[in-house]
Structure 1
Amino acid sequence: MNYRTYNAEDFLFDESFRQWTSGTSPQATTFWEQWLTQNPDRADIVRQAQELVRALNEHYRDDATDARFTSELNRLMQLAAERRDAEVEPPVIPLQQPSWWRWVAAASISIVVGLGIWFYSSTLFPKAIPDSYAHLTKTAPIPLQEKVNTSNHTMNVLLGDGSLITLRPKSRLSYPKQFSKTSRTVYLNGEAFFDVVRNPAKPFLIYANQTVTKVLGTSFLVRAFEEEKAVTVTVRTGRVSVYTKQDFEKAQKSGLRRIEGIILTPNQQMTYNLNDGRLQKALVEKPTALIPESVSHEQVFEDTPVAKVFATVEQTYGVKLIYNEGDLSACLVNLTFLNENLLERLDIICETIGASYEVLDGQIVINSKGCK
C-alpha cells in the first residue's frame, strides 16, 4: 500500500494507524515508527492525522469500535464532498443537531498545526497594549491554549463543548480547555468561521479587536485583524449580538441585563469602524439560502397573493421584508423561480407588481402603491 499518497483523512481510515496512535498494538507501533523514520517529509501530515484520531477517541471513549468509527467517517466524508461541490467561500459546516463529530465533515480541508507558534508570536503580531489580543489573553481569568494558523490553508479547531472553529490563514485563537460554568469565552485575532453548539445556559463570547460577539448557538464569520481598521461579523444561521467591548464590560459591571448592541440575523453583517467607534448593520453582498436545496428546485406560484411569495422569500433567506400588507392585499402573481438569487427574485416580483425595493439597515423595504 502506498502510504506516501495518504492525506490526513486517509490515515483515519487505516486501522493499523489508529492502533499505533492509540497505543493498542505493538506491531502497529513498530511498523509506523519505522515508516516515519524512512519518510520524515511526511511527519507533518502524520501529526495532523494523529491529532484527529486522538480527538475522535476522546469523544468516543469506550464506544470507539472500528465499525462505528469507519461508518461515521464514510458518511461524514460523503457529506463533506457534497458540500464542497455546492459551497462557495467561506466554507461552512451547516449547524445541525449539536454533536462533537460535525467537525470531521471538514477534514478534507487541510488542518495544519502551527509548529512555529513561539517564533511567529514575536515577529508577526504586535506587543501587548490595552484591549489587544495579547493583553486580553495574558490577563484572562482562566488558563488558555492557543491555535495559530501560519499556513495558507484553513485550520479546524474543535472546542471542548463541541463547537467548531474554522481558522483562516494568519489568524490565531485562544480558548480554555474546559469552559467555565456560566459562559464560553474565546479570543480571536484574525478571521474565523464559528459553528457554535447551542447552549442557552452558557452564552458564547468572542473578544476580537475592541468588539464582543455574543451567541447562544449559530454559525457566523468574524474578521478582526488588529492591523485593520474595521471588524466585520457576518451571520450565516441563527442570531448574533455584537457590542463594543467598552459597552459590554460597562454593562456587566453595572449589572445591566439588557445591553445596547447590534442584533444580526441570517445574511446580515455588522461592521465596526475603529476610527469612529460606530457599529453599522447591512445586508451581505450576496445573500445565500439557509437551505441551499430550497433554491435548486423549481418553485411555481399560480395566482398567489404576493404576501405569500414574500413570506417564502423571507423563510428561504432569513431576511426581513418590510411592506404594507394592506396595500398589497389585491396583488396576485404568477411566477416561477429556479436558481435565481435573492435580489433577482425581488427584481422579478417587484417588476410584476410595479413596485421597487431598497436595502436599509440590513432589511429590505418594499415600496408599492398596491394593485388594482
Structure 2
Amino acid sequence: MNKNLIERFFKGDYTEEDQKQVYNWLLSRNMEHEANALLKKHWESVNKSETLTDTDLEAIYRRIMNEVAEAQVIRLLDTDVKKLGSAHKTKTTWTSFLKYAAIVVCAFGLGYYAYYQNQNAGSSSSLGKEATYIEKVTARGQKSHIILKDGSKIVLNSDSKITYDKNFGISNRDIELSGEAFFEVAKNETIPFNVTAKNTITSAIGTSFNISAFIDDSSTAISLATGKVKVVSKGNGNVSDSEVFLDPGKQYLVDGDNRGAIIRDFNKEMVLSWKENVLHFNNTEMTDLISKLERWYNVEFVVLNPQRMTNVRGTGNFKNESLDNVLRVLSYSLQFDYQLKEDKVTISF
C-alpha cells in the first residue's frame, strides 16, 4: 500500500477509489502492525502534546467496538467490504474486522481519543444527578477545536465551556454551553442536537450556528449560518416561554431576563470572524470592547475614569495582532492613554 495514500486518507484528502483501497488494506489480517504505526504517527503529528500508546489504542478499540463499529462503520463501508465481513463467520475474523474498522473510525474523527480520555473525568451535573459528564474548557486567551462522538464539530472560544454526559451520541445529543462556540452539527434525524445556553435551548438536526452566551453579557445571541434551527427561550416570572425558527443569515437576540427578543440579519464577518483569529469591533460599546479584549488576551483592564467612556464606541478589525498593537490603534481613534504591564492594562480618557 502506498504510504502517501494512507497519509492522505488520515488527513481526509482522498477520492472514492482511494477510500476503497484503504478499506481493503485495513481489512488485511497481516497489516495490523503497519496500520497501528501509521495511525500513531498521524495522531502524534496533529496532537503533539499527547502520545498514543498501545494501551490507549487498545482502549479506543474496545470503546469503538462496543458502541460504534457495528452501527457506524459497516454503514460507511462499500458493498464489497460488507460482503467480506459477512463471509467470514469465525470469531477471530470478526474481531479482526472490528479492530481495523476502529482504525477507520479514528481516521474519520481523531478527536475520539480526546473524547475517550475524558470519559471518566466528571461527576454529577444538571444533565443528570447520577450522570458522569465530560467538560471541555478553554481558558482566557485560548481556543479549541473539538470533534464529538457523533461527528459534530465545535470551535470553542476563549473563556468558554461545554458540558455533556457520557451517553452523548447514543441516547442524547444534549450540550450545555457557557461562553461562545460555533457548532457544525452532524445530521441525525433520530436524535436532535440540543444546546442549552443561559435561558435558551437551540435544537438542530444537521446545521451550523454560533451561540454567544457569556455569563457577564446582558444578552444571548444565536446566529444561524446554514440549515435551520429551533430556539426556545425559557420564561422567567410572568414571562412565558417562546419558540422561534431561524433561517440562514438570521440571528436571535434575547436579553438576560427574556423580557425582550428580536430576530434580525447578522453580519457574518462580525459574528464569525473570531474563529479565524480576527477581532472585529463595529461601533462596539467600550465596556463590551474591554470584556472581549480581556477574554481574548487574558488580561485585566483598569479604567481610571470610567464615567468618561459612557458613550465611547470602537470600530476595527485585527487579525493575529498583539494586544499592544490593538491598543495603540484604538487609543488613537478613541482618544485614551494606556499602560500595558504584564497581564494588566490601565487606561484613562
Question: TM bucket by the smaller chain?
Answer: 0.3 to 0.5
TM-score w.r.t. length of structure 1: 0.42
TM-score w.r.t. length of structure 2: 0.44
